[in-house]
Amino acid sequence: MARILVIDDDLMMCDMLSRKISRMGHTAITAHNSTDGLSLARQQSFDIVFIDVRLPDGNGMDIMPLIKQTPSQPEIIIITGLADPDGAEIAIKMGAWDYVQKGSSLMEIILPLTRALQYREEKTAVAYKVALKRDEIVGSSPQIKNALDLLAQAANTDTSVLLTGETGSGKEVFAGAIHKNSPRADKSFIIVDCAALPEKLIESLLFGHRKGSFTGASENRVGLIKQADGGTLFLDEVGELPLALQKSFLRVLQTKTFRPIGSETEIESDFRLIAATNRNLEQMVEEGTFREDLLFRLKSFTIDLPPLRMRREDIKALTIFHTSKICDRFQIATKGFSPELFDALMSFDWPGNVRELVNTLERAITAAYEEPVIYPKHLPINIRVQIARNAAVHDAQLLKNHADEENRRAAATPKVESDSENLPSYKDMREEAISSAEGNYLKKLLASSGGNIGEACRISELSRSRLYSLLKKYGLTDKNSPEEQD
Amino acid sequence: MKTILYLSSKSETADRLEDSIHMALPNGDMETYHTLESLSHRLRQPLLGRSLLVLLAESEKELDAMVELAGLLDSFIIILVLPNSDRLTISKAHTLKPRFFAIMNEDFKDVVLVVKNIIYQNSDIH
């Protein structure tokens, strides 16, 4: 499913295109001026962008190069109310996929969209298969594939990336993979762990300092921002960056220049920023602990990493990969797995995500040191207890559901009288059942034949006289009787 | 959280660093190794949880040897003490993905602060 942005102030056009795009199975998002359109293109990922030439706040062609530079690098289709050959030439030279006049039929606007989507799908598939170094990113769930698609897009651009996800979900691994797949791969990947560094150290570590600029500054020190020159700066746990420093860092992001502490001179650093957090930065903005302008800058391209419990189908592949790696480190033969082990691992919620799974596997391998196969009994006791508790809750829920279903069925079924005196004779019961079935059948027959006796005879394969006799028996020959309609 | 300290010699720098780490972790779970072979052997044993590794490289050669061990180090939180602040040295150090690095001629007050902070931050994880 592709994502398509339509930037046009013509509401009718937006509506028509959106409905057509939705019917094609894609997602359409609309903006009605160039500012909103550009902002959306910078914040979200799009495959195709339709841009109207005349927009209330300027010429749509002016934002085309900016949109092409956004992380998803969408194909652009220019739409115009008044086509002119010069405009078409300029659009194509600027890299537009096509230039279409609005007066054309909707199909003529949709055709280039279909072609552009085909091209993009093939291009992405080739790039993904050939180029992406996955590093330790293991799994084939739709969630991880989606994150990998975004990783591939991010690696091909130079924009800032924000990685969000729970502790242990692999943010640092993803950051490293973006760097390794980017044109900056042969330069440094510098980690700044905002949670590990005490507040009073972060500023001098980031910006560097001149000798004597403060007590303890016994030597000049090159800051981490400068060390990342040409490479990637990974700001881990960015939510912990002190508020006072956020303003200075925002300026560095905007200008790529900064002044080391105690220095008179501004220096430059051409770095690419990747930030990561497990905090809700929007909420921090509301609480006044994180700057909105910095957040806006950081989230220009966001990759949200799924927690492990949301991609349980990857647990088996992760287990095999990390078991092999741990056994390699321990210099022992790799282990086999009992089927019950995978069942157990997949039933656990893994609040610490992949990191917790890896720690658990290390403990299990240690417990099974001499044995060739890992069983659930080798898992740490706290994990086994939790798995057993989850299973008990699950079983209890199944039993409850079963009991509820039985009760529901019992309530819906007429009670069978246990009193034998109330039972009818077999003959009476049979006649009553037949009468009821015949009456219902005849009502349905009349309904489906529209009251046409000829048609009713054809469907029921009854003779006309027999049908009339039955209709009379069940009181179905009133003033709207089929006789009058036949 | 376990802390593993590597110091190859009995130099003044090594003594200062060891004292500083003890100061940061007065009752901490700490192991000290004096050769890269013994360190490497330890890293191939179960660690059972995330651990902090403090490495003192007193020469370029020693740093190179640590880089050779990179495959064993990727699950650790690493603090490095480097022989100098040359660009090449620092660039090499970053391949080990340290959370913090200091230079060996500095006092290690910052190292103490960072170690304390890391231990505190990781104290409630699993």
Distance from C-alpha of B34 to C-alpha of A171, rounded to nearest angstrom: 33
Residue bearing tokens 């996955």? A134
CB-based contact, A362 to chain B, within 8 Å: yes
Q: How far apart, in whole angstroms, are the C-alpha atoms of residue A104 and residue A116?
A: 18
Distance CA B33, CA B119 (A): 20
Q: Does A68 fall in a domain?
A: yes
How many angstroms away from the CA of B94 is the closest CA of chain A?
A: 6
As for how many domains chain A has, the answer is: 4
pLDDT at position A481 is: 46
What span, in angstroms and rounded, lies between the C-alpha atoms of A307 and A350?
Answer: 8
Residue B84 to residue A40: CA distance in whole angstroms: 47
Q: Within an 8 Å CB–CB cutoff, is residue B102 touching chain A?
A: no
Chain B (63-82) residues lying within 8 Å, Cβ to Cβ, of chain A: 72, 75, 77
Residue A390 included in any domain? no
We report the CATH number of the domain holding residue A227 as: 3.40.50.300
pLDDT score of A70: 83
Q: Are residues A39 and A20 in the same domain?
A: yes
Do A59 and A8 lie in a common domain?
yes
Cross-chain residue pair A352–B49, CB shorter than 8 Å? no
pLDDT for B126 beyond 50: no
Tokens of A261: 């502490």
pLDDT bracket for residue B125 (50, 70, 90): very low
Q: Do A205 and A165 share a structural domain?
A: yes
Contact flag A197-B126 (C-beta cutoff 8 Å): no
Contact B50 A366 (CB under 8 A): no
DSSP state letter for A415: P
Question: What region does A197 belong to: left with phi over 0, alpha with psi -120 to 50, or beta?
Answer: beta
In a domain, A101, yes or no: yes
Query: Residue A259 has what DSSP assignment?
Result: -
Phi–psi pair at B81, nearest 5 degrees:
-115, 120
Looking at the structure, do residues A334 and A447 belong to the same domain, yes or no? no
ipTM of the complex: 0.92
> Is A412 inside a domain boundary?
no
Q: What are the per-10-residue average pLDDT scores of chain A (486 residues)?
A: 91 90 90 93 90 91 87 87 81 84 80 86 61 84 89 90 95 96 94 91 93 82 94 96 94 94 93 96 96 92 94 94 93 91 92 95 92 92 86 77 82 65 78 86 87 84 83 73 43
Tokens matching residue A143: 């969630």
The residue with greater pLDDT, B58 or A115, is B58
> Beta strand A54-55 with A58-59: parallel, antiparallel or unpaired?
antiparallel
Nearest to A218 among B47, B91, B106 (CB): B106
Question: Would you state the structure tokens that stand for residue A229, as one six-digit string?
Answer: 């020159």
B-facing residues of A in 227-266 (CB < 8 A) are: 227
Same structural domain for residues A238 and A348?
Answer: no
pLDDT at A468: 84
Q: Nearest-CA neighbor of B32 among B22, B45, B23?
A: B22
The mean pLDDT of chain B is: 91
Q: Compute the nearest-CA separation of A366 from chain B (Å).
A: 7
Q: Which residues of chain B neighbour A167 with C-beta distances below 8 Å?
A: 125
Torsion of CA A180, A184, A186, A190, to 10 degrees: -80
- Residue to substitute from A171, A172, A193, A229, interface B, most B β-carbons within 10 A: A193
Contacts of B121 in chain A (CB under 8 A): 195-196
Distance of alpha carbon A71 from alpha carbon B33, whole angstroms: 47
A195 and A315 share one domain: no
Sign of the dihedral through C-alpha A258, B97, A195, B25: negative
Q: CB distance from A197 to chain B under 8 Å?
A: yes
Backbone angles phi, psi at B9, to 5 degrees: -125, 180
DSSP 3-state of A305: coil
CATH number of residue A56's parent domain? 3.40.50.2300
CATH number of the domain within which A328 lies: 1.10.8.60
Query: Can you give the length of chain B in residues?
Result: 126
Whether residue A383 contacts residue B74, with contact meaning beta carbons closer than 8 Å, is answered with: no
Any domain includes A408: no
Task: Assess contact for A329 and B44: CB atoms under 8 A.
Answer: yes
**Residues A110 and A162 reside in one and the same domain:** no
Residues A299 and A316 in one domain: no
Picking from B47, B100, B126, the nearest residue to A352 by CB comes out as: B126
CA distance A411 to B60: 82
User: What confidence score (pLDDT) does residue A472 get?
Assistant: 84
CA end-to-end span of chain B:
10
Whether residues A253 and A221 share a domain: the answer is yes
**CA nearest to B91 within chain A:** A188
Same domain, A33 and A175: no
* Measured CA angle at A408 (ends A404, A411), to 5 deg: 140
Q: Is A418 on the interface with B (CB under 8 A)?
A: no
Task: Name the residue facing A188 among B49, B94, B117 (closest C-beta).
Answer: B94
pLDDT tens-digit map of B3-53: 999 999 889 999 999 999 998 987 778 899 999 999 999 999 998 788 999
**Distance (Å, rounded) from C-alpha A446 to C-alpha A462?**
13
From CA A108, how far away is CA B86, in angstroms rounded? Answer: 62
Nearest CA in chain B to A383: B126
Contact yes or no for A356 and B126 at CB 8 A: yes
Give the residue from A97, A129, A161 where a domain finishes: A129
- In SS3 terms, A124-151 reads as HHHHHHHHCCCCCCCCCCHHHHHHHHHH
Structural domain contains residue A406 = no
Decide if A356 touches B, using CB distance below 8 A. Answer: yes
Is residue A135 in a domain?
Answer: no
Contact between B56 and B6 under an 8 Å Cβ cutoff? The reply is yes
Q: What is the pLDDT of residue A424?
A: 80
* Contact residues for A473 (Cβ-Cβ < 8 A; gap 6+): none
Spell out the residues 6+ positions from residue A476 whose beta carbon is closer than 8 angstroms to its own: A442, A443, A446
Identity of the residue in A198, A219, A352 whose CB atom sits nearest the CB atom of B117? A198
Q: In B, residues 79-98, which contact A (CB 8 Å cutoff)?
A: 85, 87, 90-91, 94, 97-98
Number of CB atoms found within 10 A of residue A246's CB: 17
Q: Are residues A115 and A158 in the same domain?
A: no
Nearest-angstrom CA–CA distance, A373 and A341: 10
CA trace torsion A143, A318, A188, A291 (10° rounding): 40
Domain boundary among A324, A352, A385: A385
Amino acid at site B20:
S
Strand partners, A275: A162, A235
Nearest residue of A to residue B94, measured between CA atoms: A190
Query: What is the model's pLDDT at position A403?
Result: 82
SS3 B75: coil
Rounded to the nearest 10 degrees, how much is the dihedral formed by the CA atoms of A176, B90, A272, A152?
Answer: -20
Q: According to the model, what pLDDT value does residue B9 have?
A: 80
Contact between B46 and A330 using a beta-carbon 8 Å cutoff:
yes
A233: in domain: yes
**Cross-chain residue pair B107–A352, CB shorter than 8 Å:** no
Neighboring chain B residues of A358 at a CB cutoff of 8 Å: 75
Question: At A164, which helix (H) or strand (E)?
Answer: strand A161-164
Q: A53 lies in which domain range?
A: 3-129
State whether A435 and A288 are in the same domain.
no
Domain boundary among A247, A277, A304: A304
pLDDT at A214: 83
* Domains in chain B: ranges and CATH: 2-121 (3.40.50.2300)
User: Which residue in chain B is spatially nearest to A170 when comparing CA positions?
Assistant: B75
- Which one, of B115, B10, B119, B8, lies nearest residue B56 by Cα? B8
Q: A306: which residues sit within 8 A by CB, 6+ positions away?
A: A141, A143, A144, A147, A165, A169
pLDDT score for A485: 42
